[in-house]
A = this chain, B = another copy of it.
Amino acid sequence: MEDKYISAAVINRLPRYYRYLGDMITQGIERVSSYELSERMRVTASQIRQDFNNFGGFGQQGYGYNVKYLHDEIGKILGLNVKHNLIIIGAGNIGKAIANYQGFESRGFHFRCFFDCNPDLCNTKAVGLDVHPMEELPEYLRNNKIDIAVLTVPRAAAQKTAEIVIENGVKGIWNFAHYDLKVPADVKVQNVHLSDSIMRLSYELKNTHN
């Protein structure tokens, strides 16, 4: 069913459903109606039903959805049943924070090592992972199947670094550099542009105080 066109807005909401359903599993909740889920998530029940109908509806029967089934199905849609191998380029604070983040490993995101151009960091460990010199990146990628490169390099180095990983077969880039990468159509990029986020907050505060 993944072949039919699903809007980006629906896809963008899936991780949030997944997160709430995971919390409900932790809380021992076995079934949930779209109304209850809508109360928790502060979206309308009709939105939830519409979103889920994109994927066949997830078999709501009698009293609502089976939480575990729904969680697992959304996980599969998100590709979380597949193991992803990742490298982090840039062993600074953001890179270390990501490698340390709770819950990535259990969702199949497996961080293999860091790369960094700082000779003081190379051949040391960062949060338990090896830090390799940047010069070794192309050879490493040829010898290891890496699905996602996490870019936490300065923005001036971002495009060049992206090109190296793409040339060596990486199809996914999680980009923390504050730069919109130019990549071929078969390469997928997700950006985390922190300044854009704080500027939106600044806008909202300004318009509250007016």
Can you offer 5 A-B residue contacts whose CB atoms are under 8 A? Answer: A15-B197, A19-B193, A19-B195, A148-B198, A172-B205
Which residue of B18, B82, B205 is within 8 Å of A79 (Cβ)? B205
Interface residues of A in 187-210 (CB under 8 A from B): 188-190, 192-210
Contact, CB under 8 Å: A199 / B97: no
Q: Which residue of B lies closest to A210 (CB)?
A: B2
Interface locus among A44-52, A103-111, A158-166: A103-111
Q: A103-B195, A171-B208, A208-B188 are in contact. Are A200 and B11 (CB under 8 A)?
A: yes
A78 at the interface (CB under 8 A from B): yes
Contact, CB under 8 Å: A205 / B192: no
This protein's copies in its complex: 2
A94 at the interface (CB under 8 A from B): yes
State the interface size on chain A (CB cutoff 8 A): 63
Contact, CB under 8 Å: B202 / A80: yes
Name the distance in Å between A167's Cβ and chain B's nearest Cβ.
17
Q: A14-B203, A79-B205, A203-B11 are in contact. Are A198 and B109 (CB under 8 A)?
A: yes
In the complex, what residues of B have CB within 8 A of residue A193's CB? 15-16, 19
